[in-house]
Amino acid sequence: MILRCCLLLLVFFSPAVAQPAQHSQTESDIESHTQSQLRVVSSIRPLHSLLSAIMHGSGKPALLLDSSQSIHHYSLRPSERRLLANADLLFWIGDTLESFMPRILHALPDHTRGVKLIETDQLLLLPPRQTDSNASGSNNHHTHATVDPHIWLSPANAILMAKKMAAVLSEAEPSHAAVYQQNTIKLTARLNQLQKKIRLSFPQKKFNYLVYHDAFQYFEDSIKVKPLAVISTNEEQTPGARHLKRIHKLLTDNKVNCIIYNTSTLPPIVNNLIQDHASLAVYLEPTGQQFKSGEDLYFQLMHTMIDAYKQCQINNSPRP
């Protein structure tokens, strides 16, 4: 009789014992259903960073161009072509930057939607600055462009692009719209703080410097400075003799102490200029190649921009 009672009690309480495991499995299932089903790709690292912040807690975007190869002349690997073919959304800048993209998009399946962020409403869009080299008809990727495509280097532009990406994501996946919008509010607050830091970091608005490749004018607009000259509008092309003569004169007359360059190795022209005129060469890469991709990359990149320009400002003291 005692044995029979024990068995009945065991049977009676067994479901109650099993309940916590069953409940845990249900929570896991619910959590998996909250993940975004969208397959989202961004072209360059700064966009991927902003997009990662917008999708935080919901999903992870893929990064297309994750190498040091030139964005302007990128050659896609088969795996990267497959990534695009499987994507639902592709966020990119525009034809002037990713010049290979239009023909790639033309060959993609209908379900892949490309979103050109240079067409975002109210963006600050700056024309390419002229040098003697491109005024004489040099045939490079910026010569005939009407807009400088390095738009992400303005935090104000980053805010507008983030809001557009969030709106596109919300439209494509309404079930996650609240997450996207809430994350964008947090990202916007962080970008506003970044803008404030940029303004406070440069109380002195004038200092003399040159840039090798004209990739930074959106950041320069944020601090209201501009270089005395641009050495080359195309890092792959040597500037003409007349333009180089003008650069040498500027360095001599204005005591320029800083030349900013963005190539992986110091260009021979810049090396010669800094040796001849005792200038400082400062490396600055506009897409954050030195940082790990993710939510923080955009801010790491922009703080590097601040540090580089402050270095130029500090080193612009007059020579004896």
From first to last of its 320 residues, the chain has per-residue pLDDT tens of 444 444 444 433 444 433 333 333 333 333 334 788 999 999 999 999 999 999 999 999 999 988 666 676 677 888 999 999 999 999 999 999 998 899 899 888 889 999 999 999 999 999 988 655 444 333 333 334 689 999 999 999 999 999 999 999 999 999 999 999 999 999 999 999 999 999 999 877 678 899 998 899 999 999 999 999 999 876 666 778 888 888 988 888 887 878 999 988 888 889 988 888 878 899 999 999 999 999 999 999 999 999 999 988 887 544 44
266 Cβ partners below 8 Å, 6+ apart?
281, 283
pLDDT at 317: 46
Is residue 35 within 8 Å of residue 56, measured between CB atoms? no
Antiparallel, parallel or unpaired: β 210-213 and 89-92: unpaired
Helix (H, G, I), strand (E, B) or coil at 160: helix
Query: Which residues touch 72 (CB under 8 Å, ≥6 apart)?
Result: 97, 98, 99, 141
**So what's the pLDDT on residue 236?**
61
Domains 40-126+148-200 and 204-314 share a fold: yes
User: For the domain with range 40-126+148-200, which CATH number is right: 3.40.50.1980, 3.40.50.300, 3.40.1020.10, 3.40.50.620?
Assistant: 3.40.50.1980
| pLDDT number for residue 87 | 96
**CA pair distance 196, 119, nearest whole angstrom:** 26
> What pLDDT does 218 receive?
97
Q: How far apart are CA 283 and CA 264, in angstroms?
A: 9
∠ CA 79-68-276, nearest 5°, is: 165
Return the domain boundaries, the chain. 40-126+148-200, 204-314
CATH of 204-314, one of 3.40.50.1980, 3.30.70.100, 3.30.565.10, 2.40.50.180: 3.40.50.1980
The angle subtended at Cα 75 by Cα 239 and Cα 161, nearest 5°, is 80
